[in-house]
Amino acid sequence: LLDGNKIACLIAEFLAEKLHALELDQEGVTFGCVQTAYANGAAAQYLQAQGIHVAQAKTGVKFCHEKATQFDVGVYFEANGHGTVVFKDALMEKLQKWENSLHDERKKLALSQLLAASQLVNQATGDAMSDLLFVEALLIQKNWSIGDWDAIYNDLPSRQTKVQVTDRSVIVTDDDDDTQVLAPDSLRLALDAALQAYANKQGRAFVRPSGTEDAVRVYAEADTQQDADALALQFAKLVHEHCGGVGAEPSTFVA
The model's pLDDT over 106-132, given as tens digits with 9 standing for 90+, comes to: 999 999 999 999 999 999 877 899 999
- In degrees and rounded to multiples of 5, residue 102 shows phi and psi of -85, 140
| Mean predicted confidence (pLDDT) in 226-255 | 96
Structure pTM? 0.92
Flag whether pLDDT at 87 surpasses 80.
Answer: yes
Flag whether pLDDT at 139 surpasses 80.
Answer: yes
State how far the Cα of 154 lies from the Cα of 216, in Å rounded to an integer.
28
pLDDT band (50, 70, 90) for residue 50: very high
Question: Is omega for the bond preceding 184 within 30 degrees of 0, making it cis?
Answer: yes
What domains can you pick out in the chain, each with its CATH number? Answer: 4-150 (3.40.120.10), 158-242 (3.30.310.50)
Flag whether pLDDT at 198 surpasses 80.
Answer: yes
pLDDT in tens, 152-174: 999 999 999 999 999 999 999 99
Q: In what order do the strands lie in the sheet with 83-87?
A: 53-56, 31-35, 73-77, 83-87
